[in-house]
Amino acid sequence: MSVRIAIIVEGETERVFMPKLREFLKAHISVMPEIDALPCDGRIPTSNKLKRQVTNLLSGRNPADAVIALTDVYTGTQEFQNAQEAKNKMRGWVGNEPRFYPHVALHDFEAWLLPYWSTIQKLAGSNRASLSTHPENVNHGKPPAYWLKEIFRTGSKGKHYVKPRDAGRILRDNNLLIAAQSCPELESLLTTILLLCGLKKEEVDKIFHPNDGKKRG
């Protein structure tokens, strides 16, 4: 019997990320979960609104086995200063509910696209060098979405970056595992889902770090 997982996400993130998530899961588990993506108009709910939504999803006639909330750390406000604060706040808003799993994109969803820089260059028509910093260290001042808009704006294709269109194109022919190995918060999200699907921790570790055991040996 498959596990039912509800994932609360921003609307645009749902459209571009969920198909790739399902593709990733099919490659690593034998029984696919029932994933209900719940897109929000803009950022995900906060405070009592988030608590009510989580409570409703975990109850009723067809309850979820688990609820994941996925938010950008950079929301355009000063709500969250870092990833841990965002997760702590979401956990505090929902309360003592072990079936709730708060997760973040650091500093926004586009950080998970930066590891595919060659694809970005091709789509934008740009030879701009990749950012020298780690994808999840591209922060509030100029978050990853800013840099994607900049490379598209200045590229020879003359197109603006449009998330529902271009994020999907960037992800389409790339392996999500590449981004997860560069972005710990994405790895954390995928780990939560794989564990909920019944994989053991050591099995999950082998997916993301297949050479660790060889090095120890």
Whether residue 15 contacts residue 21, with contact meaning beta carbons closer than 8 Å, is answered with: no
- Integer Cα distance of 99 and 196 in angstroms: 10
Instruction: Decide if pLDDT at 213 tops 70.
Output: no
- Annotate 68-90 with b (16+ C-beta within 10 A) or e (fewer): bbbbbbbbeeeebeebeebbebb
Query: 140 pLDDT band (50/70/90 cuts)?
Result: low
Average pLDDT for residues 119-126, to the nearest whole number?
Answer: 95
Whether residue 99 contacts residue 70, with contact meaning beta carbons closer than 8 Å, is answered with: no
Q: Locate the domains of the chain by residue range.
A: 4-208
Average pLDDT for residues 62-86, to the nearest whole number?
Answer: 90
User: How much is the pLDDT for 107?
Assistant: 83
Specify the range with the lowest mean pLDDT, choosing from 2-11, 100-109, 138-147: 138-147
Instruction: Decide if pLDDT at 90 tops 90.
Output: yes
Instruction: Decide if pLDDT at 102 tops 60.
Output: yes
Query: 139 pLDDT band (50/70/90 cuts)?
Result: confident
The rounded percent of the chain whose pLDDT value lies above 70 is 97
Single-letter code of the amino acid located at 110: E
Average pLDDT for residues 9-33, to the nearest whole number?
Answer: 91
Specify the range with the lowest mean pLDDT, choosing from 20-24, 136-140, 143-147: 136-140
Highest mean pLDDT among 13-27, 67-81, 151-165, 191-205: 191-205
Whether residue 168 contacts residue 1, with contact meaning beta carbons closer than 8 Å, is answered with: no
Describe the strand order of the beta sheet including 4-10 as a list of residue ranges.
34-40, 4-10, 66-72, 100-105
Average pLDDT for residues 48-70, to the nearest whole number?
Answer: 96
Q: CB neighbours (10 Å) of residue 140?
A: 15
Longest dimension (CA), the chain: 54
Tell me the sheet residues that pair with 68: 7, 101
Averaged pLDDT of the chain: 91
